[in-house]
Every structure is written in structure tokens, then in C-alpha cells.
């Protein structure tokens, strides 16, 4: 019971991150006739997209959504005073996993060398490279081992989100939604604005 109480936030994030994978699994078929053979189902996509294109689109959407969610954690704390470091870590892990899935499917569809043919592909590739060490060190063991350096390393997430937004912006217009959310988050982080929100929250708590 104590474990659930302590880790319920992490578990909720994990469940939300894993559930879409069951939907994606319906786009694959396994043939055990002559050994294990994994392939895509025919016409698994929607809106004129092939199954592979749909997989590429969905994994990219979830990657940028989780990344945006991670960067809203600090503004959320500033506004409401609620924070949970390990929930943010879980969100970061979800971001990295979905980003890696997105990149793997891209390589499957286009080939690795295609990564270097367009600016948006290069931006996405660099973002994935940044997320890999963040994923590997997103645990308590590395927090204790790296100490103050851990926070500096994790701050590279900001570079990853900028590159990811650039990657999405060149591809489609929906990036503006994420850009606005992230932009508002950075505005709230500005010391003068941040202090005003924190002081207002403290004053309300004192009055109550």
C-alpha cells in the first residue's frame, strides 16, 4: 500500500504511455508458419495513409506530446505548487521511448541515410541523440551518482524540444499548438513573473 501511495503518479504515467502501444500492436501480424515473421497488416492506416505511414505519424505525435508535457511540469509547480520529480522522470522516459520508436519506424520506412537529406530530419535525429543519455540516466541510481551534474544533463531536454518543434514545424502546421504551450511555460519561468505567481500563491495560502 505504501509503495502504491509513493509511486502512484509514476504508475499512472507509465500506464498512459503504454496503452497506445496496444493499439499500435493491431497494425502488426505475426506468422509462425515458417518460424517467427513480423509484418504489417494491409490497409492499417487512415486518411489515405499506409500502415507504415500511420505508425510513423502516431509515434511522432505521442513523442512531441510527452515532451511538451515534461516541459509543463515546472510551470505547473509555479502556478499550483504541486511537484513530483519522479512523475516528471516517468514523462521523460515516455518521451524518449516514443521518440526512439518514431525514429526506428522512420529508418524502417526510409532508411538511415534519408536522415541527412532534409533539415527537419536532421533536427529530429539530433533531438533523439540528446534524449538517449537522458533516458539512460533517468533513474535514482544516476541521480545519486551524478548529483549536481544530473540536473545540467537533464536541462538538455530544452534543446531537444526546440529541435523537435523545428522538426514538426517544417512538416506540418499543428506544431503551433505545442509551440504556444511551451512558449507560455517559458514565460512563466521568467524570474519576475515566476516570483509574482509564487508570492500570490503563498499569500492565498496564508489568508486561507
Average pLDDT, the chain: 82
| Global confidence as pTM | 0.84
Sequence spans of domains, the chain: 2-207
CA distance 174 to 68: 13
- Element spanning 81, H or E: none
Total residues belonging to the chain: 208
CA distance 96 to 90: 10
CA distance 204 to 208: 6
CA distance 36 to 98: 25
118 to 74, 125, 137, 145, 164: CA distances (angstroms)? 33, 11, 30, 38, 14
In this model, does residue 185 exceed pLDDT 90?
A: no
> Percent of the chain beyond pLDDT 90?
12
Q: Find residue 40's DSSP bridge partners.
A: 28
Residue 125 pLDDT: 93
pLDDT single digits (tens) 101-157: 999 988 988 889 999 998 889 999 999 999 998 888 887 788 888 888 888 888 888
In this model, does residue 10 exceed pLDDT 80?
A: no
Which pLDDT band holds residue 44 (cuts at 50, 70, 90)?
low
DSSP string for residues in 180-208:
HHHHHHHHHHSHHHHHHHHHHHHHHHHH-
CB 26 within 8 A of CB 44: yes
In this structure, which long-range contacts are made by residues 103-111, counting pairs with CB atoms below 8 Å and at least 24 apart in sequence?
Answer: 103/128, 105/52, 105/55, 105/56, 105/59, 106/56, 108/52, 109/52, 109/53, 109/56
Amino acid at each position: 500500500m505504501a509503495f502504491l501511495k509513493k509511486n502512484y503518479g509514476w504508475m499512472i504515467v507509465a500506464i498512459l504511455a503504454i496503452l497506445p502501444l496496444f493499439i499500435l500492436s493491431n497494425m502488426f501480424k505475426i506468422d509462425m508458419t515458417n518460424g517467427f515473421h513480423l509484418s504489417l497488416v494491409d490497409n492499417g492506416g487512415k486518411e489515405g495513409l499506409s500502415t507504415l505511414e500511420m505508425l510513423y505519424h502516431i509515434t511522432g505525435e505521442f513523442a512531441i506530446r510527452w515532451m511538451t508535457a515534461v516541459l509543463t511540469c515546472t510551470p505547473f509547480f509555479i502556478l499550483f505548487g504541486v511537484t513530483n520529480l519522479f512523475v516528471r522522470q516517468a514523462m521523460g522516459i515516455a518521451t524518449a521511448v516514443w521518440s526512439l520508436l518514431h525514429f526506428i519506424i522512420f529508418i524502417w520506412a526510409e532508411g538511415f541515410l534519408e536522415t541527412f537529406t532534409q533539415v527537419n530530419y536532421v533536427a529530429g535525429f539530433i533531438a533523439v541523440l540528446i534524449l538517449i543519455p537522458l533516458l539512460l540516466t533517468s533513474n535514482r541510481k544516476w541521480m545519486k551518482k551524478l548529483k549536481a551534474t544530473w540536473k545540467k544533463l537533464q536541462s538538455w531536454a530544452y534543446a531537444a524540444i526546440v529541435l523537435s518543434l523545428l522538426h514538426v514545424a517544417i512538416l506540418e502546421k499543428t506544431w503551433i499548438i505545442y509551440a504556444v504551450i511551451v512558449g507560455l511555460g517559458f514565460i512563466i519561468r521568467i524570474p519576475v513573473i515566476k516570483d509574482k505567481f509564487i508570492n500570490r500563491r503563498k499569500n492565498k495560502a496564508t489568508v486561507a
